[in-house]
């Protein structure tokens, strides 16, 4: 006799296999029809997901990590990167487990997702109810909104180091218009080429920062006093929490995969690669410039101008456009669902419907042009809940009953032999992030953020810009 659990597992497996086969057949048909277009446009493999995760983790944060090291000190900077990188990979794994659980339950009910992109708040709704849906939607959308704002601020900050004829606020206007073109990219299926190029760009920039810092050498009288105050220490730690909390789009990336069950270890493998970019570059720039970084949140501002630096700036600008699309696409999906345009096949109609999402992002980037401090504030107040606390708590509540654990769609990881161990790990993450990330990090980052507002004011025309040459001459 086949048990009920085995029957359910076989049914889910067959449904998943049939859907995967349908998707692969569709892709093959598209390949035969469009050739090169499909090769560059339709991405749903494990490699596409890896490139998306790795590319999405390191964008403008690469340029603020030396600033974080100046706040934390060298040893704490390296330890926090490794610690939060592993913690972020774990909670991304939890999100992937909950996605598979939600999808398998819905497929048992014969629900089709052919023209529907599953999102994190829908997973929470299906597994835990409408209150969790509201919480997930609020935190996720707010985080992605400010993540997009940060990309615009970063674009203006970077281009200024190549062309300072325009102030940063004017550059923000220009790049806001450029980034608005992401409304034409339908979904994460269509980021195959962009993800590949984006990771190549950040790899170049990271190694440029490392090599350029060593070639430049230490500045005269360099000091490495970090950590000097608790406010700076926890602000820097929270910026690193934000760095490895870039998996607010995990569910959308998984849904774009032909076989989302294979996602489990992808985020960890992406993080291990990201370590090879972030740790050497941040350590090298901090070694070279030390405490000067405390007033220079963008690493480009301290390195001498050269064609290598100009190439790195241009590549980061392109990558920030890509990352803006990554952060905004889930917001586009949510807005489409609100206005009833999510099932529309016309790209132009969907693009038109998405435009209202870009306007508040543009406006907020002009109000708060604080490149480094806003990272820490977003990390403490939004990332801590969106990608650490909520996934850990949701996993614990989803599998709180014996029947849910027994019938779970995914097995326990090989290194945690019992559900008790799972609960211990998740409880540790909850307490740590709530106390250190949200509590101490929130206090420190908001103190620092308010200080920046008091110093420069809202709508700052050119935040942390050097005075014009004519002014210094007098």
CA distance 443 to 283: 26
pLDDT (0 to 100) of residue 143:
85
* Residue 82: pLDDT band with limits 50, 70, 90: very high
**pLDDT tens, 162-213?**
877 777 778 888 888 888 888 888 777 777 788 888 899 999 999 999 999 9
pLDDT (0 to 100) of residue 428:
96
Helix (H, G, I), strand (E, B) or coil at 336: helix
Contacts of residue 90, defined as CB under 8 A and 6 or more positions apart, other chains included, come to 425, 429
Please list the alpha-helical segments (H only) found in 162-265: 168-179, 192-216, 230-243, 250-255
pLDDT (0 to 100) of residue 110:
84
* Residue 469: pLDDT band with limits 50, 70, 90: very low
459 has a pLDDT exceeding 70: no
Q: What is the arithmetic mean of pLDDT over 358-369?
A: 81
pLDDT (0 to 100) of residue 228:
84
Q: What is the arithmetic mean of pLDDT over 233-259?
A: 83
Comparing CA positions, the residue from 26, 111, 425, 56 lying closest to residue 254 is 56
Asked if 263 and 96 count as a contact pair (C-beta separation under 8 A), the reply is yes
CA distance 344 to 334: 14
The mean-pLDDT minimum among 317-331, 337-351, 448-462 falls in 448-462
Q: What is the arithmetic mean of pLDDT over 145-155?
A: 81
31 has a pLDDT exceeding 60: no
């090169």: which residue's tokens? 36
15 has a pLDDT exceeding 60: no
The mean-pLDDT minimum among 3-12, 106-115, 347-356 falls in 3-12
Q: What is the arithmetic mean of pLDDT over 222-247?
A: 84
User: DSSP assignment of 75-144, as one string?
Assistant: HHHHHHHHHHHHHHHHHHHHHHHHHHHHHHHHHHTT---TT----HHHHHHHHH-HHHHHHHHHHHHHHH
Asked if 92 and 250 count as a contact pair (C-beta separation under 8 A), the reply is yes
399 has a pLDDT exceeding 90: yes
CA distance 167 to 254: 40
* Residue 366: pLDDT band with limits 50, 70, 90: confident
Do you know the residue count of the chain? 474
The mean-pLDDT minimum among 6-20, 290-304, 412-426 falls in 6-20
CA distance 342 to 69: 43
Here the tokens at position 179 are 């980034």
**pLDDT tens, 301-311?**
899 889 999 99
pLDDT (0 to 100) of residue 64:
86
Question: What phi and psi, each to the nearest 5 degrees, are found at residue 413?
Answer: -65, 150
27 has a pLDDT exceeding 60: no
pTM for the model stands at 0.83
Mean pLDDT (the chain, rounded): 82
pLDDT (0 to 100) of residue 274:
93
**Count of CB atoms situated within 10 Å of the CB of 32:** 9
b/e code 182-217 from CB counts within 10 Å (16+ = b): bbebbebbbbbebbbbbbebbbbbbbbbbebbeeee
**pLDDT tens, 278-324?**
999 999 999 999 999 988 888 888 998 899 999 998 998 888 888 88
CA atoms within 13 A on the CB side of 224: 18
144 has a pLDDT exceeding 90: no
Q: What is the arithmetic mean of pLDDT over 35-52?
A: 72
pLDDT (0 to 100) of residue 290:
93
H or E element in which residue 290 lies: none
pLDDT (0 to 100) of residue 33:
41
Taking each helix axis from N to C terminus, what angle separates 371-378 and 230-243, rounded to the nearest 10 degrees?
Answer: 80
Contacts of residue 292, defined as CB under 8 A and 6 or more positions apart, other chains included, come to 70, 219, 222, 302
């Amino acid at each position: 006799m086949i048990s009920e659990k085995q029957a359910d597992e076989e049914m889910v497996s067959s449904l998943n296999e049939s859907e995967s086969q349908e998707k692969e057949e569709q892709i093959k048909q598209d390949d035969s029809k469009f050739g090169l277009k499909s090769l560059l446009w339709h991405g749903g493999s494990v490699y596409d997901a890896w490139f998306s995760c790795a590319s999405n983790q390191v964008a403008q944060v690469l340029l603020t990590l030396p600033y974080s090291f100046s706040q934390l000190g060298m040893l704490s900077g390296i330890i926090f990167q490794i610690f939060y990188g592993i913690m972020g990979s774990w909670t991304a794994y939890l999100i992937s487990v909950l996605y598979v659980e939600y999808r398998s339950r819905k497929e048992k009910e014969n629900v089709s997702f052919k023209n529907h992109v599953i999102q994190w708040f829908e997973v929470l709704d299906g597994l835990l109810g409408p209150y969790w849906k509201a919480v997930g939607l609020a935190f996720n959308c707010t985080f992605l909104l400010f993540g997009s704002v940060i990309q615009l601020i970063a674009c203006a900050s970077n281009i200024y180091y190549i062309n300072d004829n325009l102030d940063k606020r004017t550059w923000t206007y220009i790049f806001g218009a450029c980034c608005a073109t992401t409304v034409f990219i339908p979904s994460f299926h269509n980021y195959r080429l962009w993800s590949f190029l984006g990771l190549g760009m950040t790899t170049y920039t990271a190694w440029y920062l490392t090599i350029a810092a060593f070639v430049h050498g230490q500045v005269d009288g360099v000091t490495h006093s970090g950590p000097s105050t608790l406010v700076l220490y926890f602000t820097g730690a929270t910026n690193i929490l934000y760095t490895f909390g870039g998996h607010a789009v995990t569910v959308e990336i998984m849904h774009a995969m032909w076989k989302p069950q294979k996602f489990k270890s992808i985020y960890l493998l992406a993080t291990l690669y990201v370590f090879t970019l972030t740790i050497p570059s941040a350590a090298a720039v901090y070694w070279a410039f030390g405490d000067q970084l405390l007033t220079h949140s963008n690493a480009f501002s301290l390195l001498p101008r050269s064609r290598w630096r100009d190439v790195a700036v241009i590549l980061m600008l392109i990558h920030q456009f890509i990352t803006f699309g990554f952060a905004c696409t889930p917001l586009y999906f949510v807005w489409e669902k609100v206005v009833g345009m999510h099932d529309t096949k016309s790209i132009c109609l969907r693009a038109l419907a998405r435009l209202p999402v870009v306007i508040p992002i543009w406006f907020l980037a002009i109000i708060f042009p604080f490149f480094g401090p806003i990272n820490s504030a977003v990390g403490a107040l939004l990332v801590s809940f969106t990608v650490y606390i909520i996934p850990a708590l949701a996993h614990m509540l989803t599998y709180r009953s014996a029947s849910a654990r027994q019938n779970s769609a995914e097995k326990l990881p090989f290194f945690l032999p019992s559900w008790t161990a799972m609960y211990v790990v998740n409880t540790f993450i909850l307490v740590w992030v709530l106390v250190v990330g949200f509590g101490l990090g929130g206090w420190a980052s908001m103190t620092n953020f308010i200080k920046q507002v008091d110093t420069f004011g809202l709508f700052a025309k050119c935040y942390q810009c050097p005075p014009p040459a004519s002014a210094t001459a007098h």
